[in-house]
């Protein structure tokens, strides 16, 4: 796990955008795992700018989103289909047929989840997975207590996550209780994970994920077992880390042979 502490969410998003851009340039047919929510918005803006200004080409890229609410139509303003369309897909040249997002309206959810897993496998597995972190430590919508080996399936959101996400729903609209999410086992098969977390509200979950014991009670902690996980956080999200000074020193003094940014 490489912990990179940056001065602001903007700076962290710039580092993340450079990593994603490098992945796509080195392997134009990359398979990207994508997250929604407030955290990756700036990253998607920067990637769209790189596409417009510098011709970063997504035409051969395949994408798989982490999750979707059950019961929301893709056109619903709070659906992750709509989020991705507005924040990323409409601003770059990803081929429509290579975009995958779990279907919140699937009639047979277990069959849909199995097909989603199969599609990831047939695409050659995810090269780079972008992740946010729930204030309760969730990854994707794998809430605390999720099996560490879980695959794409239905999950029930905690009240805390429903409260956190209420900001994306207009007054009177209920945040769904159920979601389809990639499993922790699915996420762990990605070749590289980029976890982004910003702000004081994430500090506890970051500290537990990075420096706490690996436990299903904090799904983010499973990344300690990932061979190539980078944690990009701002100083507020890093505020409860006991080794923050060490991580900062390591990042500033990376030997040239180790620099991959
Ligand atoms: C979203 C997802 C979630 C979010 C997490 C943080 O696709 O899988 O794990 O990344 O809930 O959300 P924000 O970024 O809104 O704080």
Please tell me which residue in 143, 164, 226, 234 is annotated as part of the active site: 143
Q: Is the Cβ–Cβ distance between 42 and 10 less than 8 Å?
A: yes
Catalytic residue among 117, 127, 136, 164: 136
Q: How confident is the model at residue 256 (pLDDT cuts 50, 70, 90)?
A: confident
Name the band, by pLDDT with cuts 50, 70 and 90, for residue 173. Answer: confident
Provide the percentage of residues in the chain whose pLDDT is more than 70.
Answer: 99
Look at residue 147 in the predicted model and tell me its pLDDT.
Answer: 98
Asked whether 43 and 13 are in contact (CB, 8 A), the reply is yes
List, for residues 76-110, the tens digit of each pLDDT value.
999 999 999 999 999 999 999 999 999 999 999 99
| Residue 138, ligand 1, Cβ within 6 A | yes
Distance CA 5, CA 11 (A): 10
Give the tokens for residue 12: 């962290």
Determine whether 67 is an active site residue. Answer: yes
Average pLDDT, the chain: 97
Which single residue is written with the structure tokens 């796990």? 1
Q: For ligand 1, say whether the CB of 199 is within 6 Å of any of its atoms.
A: no
Contact 38, 237 (CB under 8 A): no
User: What average pLDDT score do residues 201-214 get?
Assistant: 98
User: Backbone dihedral region of 27: left (phi > 0), alpha (psi from -120 to 50 degrees) or beta?
Assistant: beta
Q: 0.95 exceeded by the pTM?
A: yes
Angle at the Cα of 23 from the Cα atoms of 18 and 24, rounded to 5 degrees: 100
């Amino acid at each position: 796990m490489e912990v990179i502490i940056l001065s602001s969410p903007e700076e962290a998003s710039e580092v993340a955008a450079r990593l994603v851009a490098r992945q796509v340039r080195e392997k134009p047919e990359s398979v990207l795992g994508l997250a929604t929510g407030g955290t990756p918005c700036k990253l998607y803006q920067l990637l769209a700018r790189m596409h417009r200004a510098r011709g970063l080409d997504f035409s051969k890229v395949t994408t798989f989103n982490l999750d979707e609410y059950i019961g929301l139509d893709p056109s619903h303003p709070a659906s992750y289909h709509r989020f991705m369309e507005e924040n990323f897909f409409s601003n770059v040249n990803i081929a429509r047929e290579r975009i995958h997002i779990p279907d919140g309206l699937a009639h047979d959810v277990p069959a849909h989840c199995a097909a989603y897993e199969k599609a990831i496998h047939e695409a050659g597995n995810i090269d780079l997975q972008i992740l946010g972190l729930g204030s309760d430590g969730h990854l994707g919508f794998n809430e605390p207590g999720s099996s560490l080996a879980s695959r794409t399936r239905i999950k029930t959101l905690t009240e805390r996550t429903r409260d956190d996400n209420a900001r994306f729903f207009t007054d009177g609209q209920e945040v769904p209780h159920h979601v389809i999410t990639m499993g922790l086992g699915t996420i762990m098969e990605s070749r590289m994970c980029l976890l982004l977390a910003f702000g004081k509200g994430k500090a506890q979950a970051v500290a537990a994920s990075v420096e706490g014991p690996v436990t299903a009670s904090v799904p983010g902690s499973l990344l300690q077992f990932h061979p190539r996980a980078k944690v990009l956080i701002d100083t507020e999200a890093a505020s409860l880390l006991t080794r923050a000074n060490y991580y900062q020193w390591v990042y500033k003094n990376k030997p040239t042979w180790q620099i991959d940014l």
